[in-house]
Structure 1
Amino acid sequence: MFAMGENVLITGGAGFIGSHVADALLAKGHRVRVLDCLHPQVHGPSQKRPEYLSRDVELIIGDVRDRAAVEKACRGIDVVYHFAALVGVGQSMYRIEDYTSVNNVGTSVLMEVLAQRPPRRVIVASSMSIYGEGLYERVDGSIVPGQSRSLAQLERRDWELRDARGNVLVPVATHEDKIPALESVYALSKYDQERMSLIIGRAYGIPTVALRFFNVYGPRQALSNPYTGVLAIFSSRLLNDKAPMIFEDGKQRRDFVSVHDVAQACVLAMEREQAVDSAINVGSGNAYTVSEIAARVADAVGKRVDPEITGQYRKGDIRHCVADIALARKTLGYEPRVSLEAGLRELAGWLEGKSAKDAVLEAKAELSARGLTL
């Protein structure tokens, strides 16, 4: 059992999710250290300590690939949360070396250090992206894993998944038993982080939990990073009085979960023995279309701006994926507490007075120039 006053390390802990987890751990009476390189794409060119990061957090500025920095950060640590990663499906498809180096190699450096000094628990941030397409239901009621759509189908702008007879498949909640189907370099790297952590955990007797985050939103997201979460991207566009841009037809379904619920799950993963040696979904369990989310964000921030539906496909994207959170309820005692309405109100309040560099068109042009959109 974990008592108050554990020494906890969060790699990547100066970022969006990590800083909220730090707050939740401090509120529980734990001591928190963060290792973060303060990447300029996330934290801006000044790379200063974020104002939102609690002064009670010890910050070590360093790269997770730097063994000396990792060894320093791990000294005297009881629990490790491994969140350090480059994030973004689209960017991962052309910054292949960077994503592989930070996410895969960075994890290997951390795991080698932890193998020599085993902590009492490791919690690693995985991602819903490892599923590729989620689970689907046929017209006869049987459940099947979604398969990648062919380029010919996408070129016809026929967006939905279909069975062999051409019937549209209906998306259903995706549970952890679905076999991963990796559609992007980002997904590949997150699966590598998850599996490497669990493998080393089993080999060295380190109780390890992998949490598969779905679409996380809330205060502190990097508004000027065009490869961050979709709600932050939409918010950035709206702050600049521009329409949110949506690929395909906007009817793709996702699971959006408040960062406060994610932080709750992260703390529970440290406390609950039932979670050890598992990969567990963390989402809201609710499905929303991307177009619906764009409209609701606009309403929340008081902007009457309709989204722009591009009708384009971005290579590496999937159609539908929503979390089945039954395992999180069973093993973690997790229950989402923040409704979408309440979460968007909080986000809108945080956005007041904020400014953001709108780099969405620049990012879209980058993808197009490399042939990564159809």
Structure 2
Amino acid sequence: MAQALAGVDVVMHQSAKVGLGVDFFDAPDYIRNNDLATAVLLAGMAAAGVDKLVLASSMVVYGEGAYTDSAGRPVHPAPRRVEDLEHGIFDPRDPATGELLLPALVTEDAAMDPRNVYAASKLAQEHLAAAWARSTGSTAIALRYHNVYGPRMPKNTPYAGVASVFRSALARGEAVRVFEDGGQRRSFVHVRDVAEANLLSVDALVGGRVASGCARAYNIGASEVHTVGRWRRS
């Protein structure tokens, strides 16, 4: 580790074990590859005096996403009802009133609610980076990637998002499968924009625009939100 970090000013940590996993027995692998490995990296950076980190995080740390009631007030949604799903009602309800909620954009200050082991491991990475920054007086930026697409995207792997899944199905001459009503909202961001976000983060860290001992997090997505159904039709 010391040799790898020699002469390094900023570390851009992009690697992770991704996907939902087959079952919970995969949990140790996610923690080993994502959290233990990140802790080893941060310890090595502390020992080497490398004090700037850009971390690839994910929008999965938010869980269900953001919703409001009809008056525009933010509401944390209740779990979806089986009877609603059976009747083709896929939006969650207000746990207090039963009113169907409206989707909203997720902001960086939204509550964290990871819903699977991968999501929990990504949030743990952010917490580790923040603890490292506070302990060592370092600086970190976590980039919460939304649905990334672009050239040379892996096919039929845990890294493949819906764009790659659709493209692979069409290439095989198969119909594209859309679950529920296709109303699931996604922010699709091109890999070039992700690369630019990483470079801007490096500039911010090197330029001293993040205070010593602080870690920040930013959503990396497109300004326009698409539904999965619309993406299929396009």
Give the number of the structure with larger relative contact order, counting CA–CA contacts within 8 Å between residues 6 or more apart: 2
What is the letter of the counterpart of residue 292 of structure 1?
Answer: R
Residue 290 in structure 1 maps to residue 200 in structure 2: no
Contact 1:149/1:161 (<8 A) preserved: yes
Pairwise CA distance, 1:186: 0.9
**CA distance in 1 between partners of 2:74 and 2:193 (Å):** 28
Letter of the 1:77 counterpart? V
Matched, 1:225 2:157: yes
Residues 154 and 199 of structure 1, relative CA distance in 2, 3 Å threshold: farther
Q: Does 1:280 align with 2:215?
A: no
1:1-374 mapped onto 2 (5 Å cutoff): 70-91=1-22, 93=24, 95-150=26-81, 153-154=84-85, 158-163=89-94, 164-272=96-204, 273-275=208-210, 277-296=215-234
Superposed CA offset, 1:129-179 (max 9, x none): 000122212112212233443556556653111123332211111111111
User: Which amino acid in structure 2 is aligned with residue 212 of structure 1?
Assistant: R
Cα distance in 2 for residues equivalent to 1:116 and 1:153 = 54
Q: Helix, strand or coil for the counterpart of 1:274?
A: coil
Secondary structure at the counterpart of residue 209 of structure 2 = helix
Provide the rounded CA distance (Å) in 1 between the counterparts of 2:90 and 2:24. Answer: 21
Counterpart residue identity of residue 278, structure 1: R
Letter in 2 for 1:246: V
TM-score, with normalisation over the residues of structure 1?
0.57
Q: Deviations over 1:304-360 (max 9, x none)?
A: xxxxxxxxxxxxxxxxxxxxxxxxxxxxxxxxxxxxxxxxxxxxxxxxxxxxxxxxx
Q: Distance in 2 between matches of 1:194 and 1:79?
A: 17
- Counterpart CA distance in 1 for 2:38 and 2:200 is 22
Q: Residues 84 and 167 from structure 1, CA distance in 2 versus in 1: closer, same or farther, beyond 3 angstroms? A: same
Q: Residue 158 of structure 1 aligns to a residue in which SS? A: coil
The percentage of counterpart residues that share the same residue type is 37
Unpaired segments ≥5 residues, structure 2: none
Q: Secondary structure at the match of 1:245?
A: coil
Q: Extract unaligned runs of 5+ from structure 1.
A: 1-69, 297-374
Equivalent residue of 1:95, what SS? helix
Q: Shift of the alpha carbon at 1:274?
A: 3.3
Q: State how far apart, in whole Å, the 1-side matches of 2:180 and 2:2 are.
A: 45
C-alpha contact 2:18 2:158 (8 A) present in aligned 1:
no
CA distance in structure 2 between the partners assigned to 1:139 and 1:174 by the alignment: 17
Q: Distance in 1 between matches of 2:4 and 2:42?
A: 13
Q: 159-168 or 98-107: which moved more?
A: 159-168
Instruction: Name the CA distance, whole Å, in 1 between partners of 2:162 and 2:77.
Output: 22
Contact 1:257 1:284 in 2 (8 A): yes
DSSP 3-state at the match of 1:145: coil
- Structure 1: distance between partners of 2:142 and 2:23: 21
Residues 177/127 of structure 1: CA separation in 2 closer, same or farther (3 Å cut): same
d(CA) in 2 for partners of 1:270 and 1:285? 22
Q: Deviations over 1:192-235 (max 9, x none)?
A: 11110121012112211111111111112111315522211211
1:116 alignment partner AA: A
Runs of 4+ residues deviating >4 angstroms: 90-94, 150-157
Q: Aligned AA for 1:122?
A: L
The CA distance in 2 between the partners of 1:147 and 1:274, in whole Å, is: 39
Alignment partners' CA distance in 1, 2:226 and 2:25: 29
Which letter maps to 2:18?
A: V
TM-score by length of 2: 0.88
Kindly report the root-mean-square deviation, in angstroms, between the aligned alpha carbons of the 2 structures. 2.1
The one-letter code of the counterpart of 1:187 is A
Counterpart residue type for residue 80 of structure 2: R
Does the aligned pair in 1 maintain the 2:66–2:106 contact within 8 Å? yes
The amino acid of 1:180's aligned partner reads M
Letter in 1 for 2:54: I
